[in-house]
Amino acid sequence: MQNHEADGELDSLTKSLPNPDFDDWAKFPDEDEDDVMHHKSSLHAEAEAEADQSHKVPFEPLSSLATEYQSGSTILLEKIKVLSQQYAAIRRTRGDGNCFYRSFMFSYLEHILESQDRAEVDRIKANVEQCRKTLQSLGYAEFTFEDFFALFLEQLESVLQGNETSMSHDELLSRSRDQSISDYGEFVTSGEIRKRSEFFDPFVLGLTNGTVEQFCKSSVEPMGEESDHVHITALSDALGVPIRVVYLDRSSCDTGGVSVNHHDFVPVGGDNPNASGSSETARPFITLLYRPGHYDILYPM
């Protein structure tokens, strides 16, 4: 099946990415930081109290999606058939507004658990340290994000087998319910957008009339805010992890046929040298399914 990129804006966003300059970070005041942290704390309790259906039936065949839309759009049903030829299963995530970060973080840690790729762990640890320096340079107080970073690094070490803290797949699933994992993603994303404010500014203006700083405070850092292409690009670039997003919507092809659009978010510098010495674009090992307002995880066949 031939997939197409979701739209021209997404294509231009990732293809036009400049090389990040880690020595020229934009400085922004953070006067409302306490308000954001208070907001997060109050919502954490609500999220923990919420009955989480996604963890009762976490891993399902694609046919379960067809059941949801049985009396709905025929285009969606046809697209689900197309998806079922490429993907074996879907893992559902809680629909609380943090589903993108939760889906990404679980999928990434699951990849490390299954691959035991220590070189990748070393690589992303260096990126995590760079993200920490970015937040410090932007004026964030270390106590506001340090616990979230420490938890992610702890999870990262635990999915590597052969040590006392190693965990199983079931334990990873259980620990991934911790809201702090999503908080880590939000801080990394916000730091990347603020650091490269000149690049992200035109795209932020397409979503809101506010500044980059205002966008981060209102649409990135608070818990429960939906993520779009700006958030995904920033997180992918900051951590150096390519992400594929598959879009399940009612759009149709110009030819009248049915195809499922996807977009690959490839981080800056995401081209890897191959055997011939030329470069090839890094292939995403994380695939998310986007339906309006929600992200789940897809598993290729």
Neighbours of 233 (CB within 10 A): 26
Can you tell me the mean pLDDT for 185-191? 97
Catalytic residue selected from 229, 231, 263, 294: 294
pLDDT at position 217 over 60: yes
Which pLDDT score, from 0 to 100, does residue 4 have?
A: 44
Given a cut of 60, is residue 185 above it in pLDDT? yes
Q: Catalytic: which of 99, 183, 237, 296?
A: 99
Residue in 231, 230, 232, 228 with CA at minimum distance from that of residue 284: 232
Residue 254: its pLDDT value, please?
A: 61
Q: 201: which 2 tokens?
A: 């500014």
With a pLDDT cut of 70, the percent of the chain lying above it is 76
Q: 150: pLDDT confidence band, cut at 50, 70 and 90? A: very high
Domains of the chain plus CATH, in order, are: 8-19+33-300 (1.20.1300.20)
pLDDT for 288 equals 98
Query: Looking at 30, 96, 183, 264, which residue is catalytic?
Result: 96
**SS3 at position 91:** strand
Residue 177 has pLDDT above 50, yes or no: yes
253 is catalytic: no
In the chain, the DSSP E strands lie at: 59-61, 87-91, 243-247, 262-265, 271-273, 279-281, 286-291, 294-300
72: confidence class by pLDDT, cuts 50, 70, 90 = confident
